[in-house]
A and B are shown apart, each in its own frame.
Chain A
Amino acid sequence: MTMRRLTLIFAASALSAWAQTHSYSQEDIEEGRRRYQTNCIGCHGVDGAAIAGIDLGRGKFKRVTSDDELAKVIVEGVPGTGMPGTPLFPSRVFMLISYLRNMSDLTSRKSIAAATGEPGRGKLLFEGKAGCAGCHRILGQGGRKGPDLSETGHFLRPAEIEMSMLEPDAAYASDSPPYRAVLNGGETVLGFLLNQNSDSIQLKDDRGNLRSLLRSDLKEAGQVKSWMPSYRGQLSAQELADIIAYLGNQKGAQ
């Protein structure tokens, strides 16, 4: 056994020991995922393996093993390399780490999609039989009832896309929670919450309109469950894989 192999095994077992003594809440991991998307994904990629020799999703780092070392690298960066320091508050750093430690869990979750998908077929399904385009927009084409999916492949890994299709309330596709507001006049506005303060809320409604509503004009308002139907049992394993492959290719306007 090479020393390198030994080191990797040691590192993995140390991390595993650490993981066994901690349970992360879904909120920790979710917040960590948001931090990853904001601060890390540009260089490390959606699966954490975009840089040679580093595979964040599998606990493979160049310089660090412990969480504290990882935290130090995140906060201070690595001088002389392209890794900049990111001055996050300590709790955010650890939430980011909690996401990194759980990336592989999500990847290894049992998938019901076929092993490989064909993006071309996925596009046809997306726009046809599966009915996705009625609600979702990609590069200016499609509906507005759901989140715009033009950059899905940049932010979500295949396992996350699959979860979003099977369990829409997992809401991987959008950081904006589904929201419902009822105006004093009786109008109901469904949409995604973009922002709020004590005076008003800002929504993208289910027709794609940006709405700013005064709280004084609202009879009720609050977050609701996603109105997207689950595709569990609605598509074959191959069809699911095809759509995932198509969405995985969506990385914005190139």
Chain B
Amino acid sequence: MTSRLLLIILTVGAAHAQVTWDRLRNAQSEPQNWLTYSGTNFGQRHSALSEMTPSNVKDLRLKWVFQAASFEKFEATPLVADGILYTVQAPNDIIAMDAATGRLFWTYTYTPSKESRVCCGRVNRGLAILGDTLFMGTIDGRLLAVDAKSGKPVWNIPVARAEAGYSVTHAPLIVKDKVLVGVAGGEYGIRGFIAAFDAKTGKEVWRFNTIPGPGEPGNETWVGDSWKTGGGSIWVTGSYDAELNLTFWGVGNPGPDWNGDSRVGDNLYSDCALALDADTGKLKWHYQFTPHDELDYDSVQVPVLGDIQFQGRLRKVVMWANRNGIYYVLDRATGLFLTGKPFTKVTWMDGFDERGRPRKLNSAGSSPEGTIVYPGVQGGTNWYSPSYSPRTGLFYIPVWDDTYSRFIKKKDTYTEGQRYLGGFPGSTSFSLNRGAQTNTRKPQDGHGAILAVDAATGEKKWKLDFVDVTDSGILTTATDLLFTGNREEHFFALNARTGEVLWKTSLGGVLANGPITYAVNGNQYVAVAAGNALYVFGLR
């Protein structure tokens, strides 16, 4: 039986079945679907589909386009379940389409409260699905359950108060019968948390405070009441290991962003990797990438899980290219620091102690007069999904290379619902939220790149440089293809082993989301949003 025929049978066999937890847990076994934000719970954004290959990818052609009725950034990663593609039209409309043709089935329109306040765009990064129900966080701090067949609401619950600066922008993560979400709002002096809600009822089952209160471990890393406005937002989807029953999340910056004077201490669990028991929310371990951060180095990246050869033995690890410019490998069961290596110019630290704590440089904090630090406020990378290919053993990073900011500190006082920043990053060379605008930047301002590093060591293997930066995630496939894009409005297929550009097209809009791939009736598609539209390519 050919693999294509098998795929057709699998596709037909699964048609219109419910998306059970078993299916989500084993999502890697049905690569024709894209059932979670990162494709599987391991967060690798790697697909087993193999119809598109390095030799035929040059024949990709546009199959269909969905034009969003929205001028917000299109950051959502779609889901594909049994031939139906679901995505979010920013800020919070859900769209269901025929994944083969783009024909619309239904639109669920949600109008967020006027109390919504988001720092950096009225965006949403995607959905989760379980059974016949879709789940979406909203910019006014709510979690919605919507029927996947009818597009009608099932439940709608408050997660946190929009008027205090809380929002939910990331795609929820399903673990068993629970929907896991965290709150954004790190620029508003929120106190962050991750919570699990019963998928049937929306009832909260557990909550983990990313900023611990009095009596909770870690509260001693805050001075006085500073924990109350300590930030620690969550705005990118976590991952899950069923064997360990642990869910992994990255935590955002401490508040206020650029002035740590009022929050002396390490400020746990800001800028941390967290491993939580998925049933109880209890902390199993944490690792802090940037203690006492004054540079806005959110650790809001997808924790990428893999079982890799590390120093001669197979280890369960979490791989992490951090906004602070360093690539990390941690032991997934214990949180043990295994390695850390800069992947771009880094001037805020000069190495690690024997336990993996970074040696921060006192000269590289924000200051009233401004301090130039690499990487800049946008980071060496940011929330853009990386990819790990178990085939190549390489970890792929969307990089802002050799960029800097002049970090300026100022006094700030907290007022509920207002920005609480403690300064600002000056002299950053790039527009942080530029749309389809022109680029006249100088070479010394840095540039974007796609970088492949050895997943075990962080050693650089190849790099594709751009003139402009990139906000695009990365997808790899079982045929060693790598799909990504950039602010130059290009969408690429690269050879994942060499970085060679195999195919390139211009989509006329900035790519600010991660590509996905799926199949319908045995035909493989690759989908990516650029500007305000979702583009879908196929081979025939």
Mark A residues whose CB is within 8 Å of B.
18, 21-25, 27-28, 67-68, 71-72, 75-76, 87-95, 98, 175-177, 193-199, 202, 222-223
Contact = CB atoms under 8 A, between A and B. Distances in A.
B421 interface: yes
A23 B369 contact: yes
B368 A21 contact: yes
Given A196-B468, A197-B468, 11 more contacts: A23-B369, A25-B427, A28-B406, A28-B427, A87-B122, A90-B419, A91-B432, A92-B432, A92-B433, A175-B440, A194-B438
A222 B443 contact: yes
A192 to B, nearest CB: 9
Which 4 A/B pairs are nearest by Cβ-Cβ distance?
A: A94-B424, A197-B488, A195-B438, A89-B432
B283 to A, nearest CB: 30
Nearest to A91: B425
Contact of A196 (B432, B465, B467): B467
B201 interface: no
Given A22-B408, A194-B438, A197-B467, A68 B426 contact: no
Given A68-B419, A94-B424, A197-B467, A25 B406 contact: yes
A90 B422 CA distance: 11
A207 B307 CA distance: 61
B233 to A, nearest CB: 14
Contacts of A87: 121-122
A175 B441 CA distance: 11
B377 interface: yes
B187 A90 contact: yes
B489 to A, nearest CB: 8
Given A90-B119, A223-B442, A18 B418 contact: no
B43 interface: no
Contact of B440 (A76, A89, A177): A177
Contacts of B488: 197-199
B466 A197 contact: yes
Contacts of A198: 465-468, 488, 490
Nearest to A20: B368
B53 interface: no
Contacts, number: 91
Contacts of A197: 439, 466-468, 488-490
B467 A98 contact: no
Nearest to B121: A87
B120 interface: yes
Contacts of A27: 426-427, 429
B59 interface: no
Contacts of A195: 438-440
Interface in B96-114: none
B431 interface: yes
B495 interface: no
B412 interface: yes
B428 interface: yes
B31 interface: no
Contacts of A18: 410
Contacts of A98: 426
B281 interface: no
B370 interface: yes
A157 to B, nearest CB: 23
A199 B465 CA distance: 11
Nearest to B408: A22
Given A177-B440, A195-B440, A92 B431 contact: yes
Contacts of B405: 91
Contacts of A76: 117
A27 B441 CA distance: 12
18 contacts: A21-B410, A27-B426, A28-B406, A68-B412, A71-B419, A89-B432, A89-B433, A94-B426, A95-B426, A98-B426, A195-B438, A195-B439, A196-B439, A196-B440, A197-B489, A198-B488, A199-B488, A222-B443
Contact of A23 (B370, B440, B441): B370
A176 B296 CA distance: 31
Nearest to B377: A91
A25 B467 contact: no
B365 to A, nearest CB: 16
A25 B371 CA distance: 11
Contacts of A22: 368-370, 408, 410
Residue of B121, B424, B425 with most chain A CB atoms under a 10 A cut-off:
B424
Residue of B122, B466, B488 with most chain A CB atoms under a 10 A cut-off:
B488
Contact of A28 (B377, B426, B490): B426
Contacts of B440: 175-177, 193-196
A68 B122 CA distance: 21
A197 B490 CA distance: 10
B420 to A, nearest CB: 9
A72 B438 contact: no
B122 to A, nearest CB: 8
A175 B438 CA distance: 11
A176 B442 CA distance: 12
A90 B439 contact: no
Nearest to A192: B440
Contacts of B439: 195-197
Nearest to B415: A68
B225 to A, nearest CB: 20
A104 to B, nearest CB: 19
Residue of B121, B122, B426, B466 with most chain A CB atoms under a 10 A cut-off:
B426
B439 to A, nearest CB: 5
Nearest to B417: A72
Nearest to B425: A91
Nearest to A222: B443
B368 A91 contact: no
A175 B236 CA distance: 36
A91 B426 contact: yes
A34 to B, nearest CB: 9
B418 A72 contact: yes
A90 B488 CA distance: 23
B180 to A, nearest CB: 28
Interface string B336-355: 00000000000000000000
A98 to B, nearest CB: 7
A87 B432 CA distance: 12
B348 to A, nearest CB: 18
Nearest to B443: A222
A197 B187 CA distance: 32
Contacts of B429: 27
A196 B486 CA distance: 13
Contacts of A175: 440
A197 B408 CA distance: 30
Contacts of B431: 92
Contacts of B490: 197-198
Contacts of B425: 91
A27 B421 CA distance: 21
Contacts of B370: 22-23, 25
A23 B425 CA distance: 12
B444 to A, nearest CB: 10
